[in-house]
Amino acid sequence: MRYFKLNQFSQIFFITSHNQILNKKIIQFYTFKKIISIVSLFFISLSAAGQSLPIGQVGTEDMLRVLQLEGKIDEGNSFTARPFIYQKNFNRKDLWNLIDSTQKIKLDKKSFANDLLKIGWMPAVFSSKFNSHHPYGWNDQGMIMAKGLQTSFSAGAFAQFGPITIQLQPEFVYAANSSYDITAGYGSNSGKSFSKLYPGQSSIRLNLGAASLAVSTENLWWGPGQFSSLLMSNNAPGFQHLSFHSNRPLKTGIGSFEWQLVAGKLKEDTAAAFENTYLKPFNPVNKDRYFNGMVLTYQPKWMKEFFFGVTRVVDMYADDQKTMTGSFISKYLPVLAGSSPDANANINSTPSDGAFSLFTRWLLPKHQAEFYLEYGYNDFKQNMRDFTTNANHSSAFIAGFKKIVNLKKDQLLDISGEITQMAQTTSAIVRNAGNWYEHGQVVQGLTFQNQILGAGSGKGNNVQTFQVKKIKGFEYIGIKFQRIQQDPKGFRGGLNTIGMGEYQWNDLALGVLGQKRWGKLLLNGEMQFVSSKNYGWEKGDRFNLYALVNCVYFF
Enclosing H/E stretch for 204: strand 203-208
pTM: 0.88
Distance (Å, whole) CA 86 – CA 105: 19
Q: Coil, helix or strand for 276?
A: helix
Q: What are the extents of the domains in the chain?
A: 22-105+113-553
Report the pLDDT value the prediction gives residue 14, as an integer from 0 to 100. 35
- Give CA angle at 436 (353, 274), nearest 5°: 85
Distance (Å, whole) CA 291 – CA 54: 21
Provide the terminal-to-terminal Cα distance of the chain, rounded to the nearest Å: 9
Report the pLDDT value the prediction gives residue 51, as an integer from 0 to 100. 87
CA neighbor of 231 nearest in space, from 390, 447, 493, 62: 447
Whole-angstrom CA distances from 506 to 165, 486, 499 are 46, 6, 18
194-225 b/e with 16+ CB inside 10 Å = b? bebebbbbbbebbbeebebebebbbbbbbbbb
Q: Coil, helix or strand for 128?
A: strand
Answer whether 170's CB lies under 8 Å from 196's CB: no
Contacts for 21 with CB less than 8 Å, ≥ 6 apart: none
Answer whether 390's CB lies under 8 Å from 431's CB: yes
Report the pLDDT value the prediction gives residue 142, as an integer from 0 to 100. 94
Cα atoms found within 13 Å of the Cα of residue 39, Cβ hemisphere only:
9
428-449 b/e with 16+ CB inside 10 Å = b? beeeebbbbbbbeebbbbbbbb
Distance (Å, whole) CA 220 – CA 234: 7
List residues bridging with 499 in a β-sheet: none
Detail the DSSP E strand segments found in 138-288: 148-161, 164-168, 171-175, 194-198, 203-208, 211-216, 221-222, 241-246, 250-252, 255-266
Task: Count other Cβ atoms within 10 Å, centred on residue 499.
Answer: 10
Distance of CA 453 to the CA centre of its chain: 9
Distance (Å, whole) CA 438 – CA 460: 10
Distance (Å, whole) CA 421 – CA 396: 6
Distance (Å, whole) CA 539 – CA 505: 9
User: Which pLDDT tens digit goes with each residue over 386-403?
Assistant: 777 778 888 999 999 999
pLDDT truncated to tens, each residue of the chain (555 aa)? 433 333 333 333 333 344 454 455 444 544 544 544 444 444 444 456 778 999 999 889 999 999 999 999 999 999 999 999 998 888 888 898 899 877 666 666 556 666 678 899 999 999 999 999 999 999 999 999 999 999 999 999 999 998 999 999 999 999 999 999 999 999 999 889 999 999 999 999 999 999 999 999 999 999 999 999 999 999 999 999 999 999 999 999 999 999 999 999 999 988 889 999 999 988 888 789 999 999 999 999 999 999 999 999 999 999 999 888 888 998 999 999 876 555 555 555 788 888 999 999 999 999 999 999 999 998 777 667 777 777 888 899 999 999 999 998 789 999 999 999 999 888 877 788 878 898 888 989 999 999 999 999 988 899 999 999 999 999 999 999 999 999 988 766 444 444 456 789 999 999 999 999 998 999 999 999 999 999 999 999 999 999 999 999 998
Distance (Å, whole) CA 400 – CA 415: 11
Distance of CA 160 to the CA centre of its chain: 23
The arrangement of secondary structure in 22-105+113-553, i.e. its CATH architecture, is Beta Barrel (2.40)
Whole-angstrom CA distances from 237 to 141, 228, 314, 446, 512 are 4, 15, 19, 13, 26
Report the pLDDT value the prediction gives residue 64, as an integer from 0 to 100. 95
List residues bridging with 351 in a β-sheet: none
Report the pLDDT value the prediction gives residue 500, as an integer from 0 to 100. 54
User: Which pLDDT tens digit goes with each residue over 137-169?
Assistant: 999 999 999 999 999 999 999 999 989 999 999
Distance (Å, whole) CA 263 – CA 460: 27
Whole-angstrom CA distances from 22 to 15, 28, 178 are 10, 10, 77
